[in-house]
Amino acid sequence: MDSKIVSADASGMSYMPNRNLVLVVDDDPGMLRGVRRLLRQHAYDHILFSSAEAFKNHTDFEEAVCVILDINLSDGSGIELRYRLKSDGHSVPVIYMTGNDTPTVREAALQSGCLAYLTKPFSAQSLIEPLERASARLA
């Protein structure tokens, strides 16, 4: 399976449509590597975004099973990205992850609509279970 890491200056990236495609947004290279490895182990294709800006340049959400969003990105908020997806008419499911869990952040994330809210570090199963639910919806 191929993966791509998309940076803020990369645009026009394309990929082959796939019903197992997961989009991942996190500015921590170590977290991106770890999530990529986990997705590969569970047969998910993926596109990795290292910034909110790079993700904003992505336009094709039709084939995505899910978007995994870090809440605290260096150049934006994962929750704001979620609201942007909704306002643009994209109903792709979202899984949030954060290293800064607070009741206020958790409430804002849950109110924005999500499949799961994960606090870093999280177990592999806590990420894979909601992904499997999202995949089952497409079947």
Query: Which residues are registered as beta bridge partners of 97?
Result: 70, 118
Both tokens assigned to 74: 């260096």
pLDDT tens for 27-79 read 999 999 999 999 999 999 999 999 999 999 998 898 899 999 999 999 999 99
What is the pLDDT at residue 12? Answer: 40
Cα(7)–Cα(106) distance, integer angstroms: 27
Assign domain 18-138 to a CATH class: alpha beta
Q: Supply the mean pLDDT for the chain.
A: 88
Cα(81)–Cα(114) distance, integer angstroms: 12
Q: CA 112: distance to chain centroid? A: 14
Q: To the nearest whole percent, how much of the chain has pLDDT over 90?
A: 79
Domain ranges of the chain: 18-138
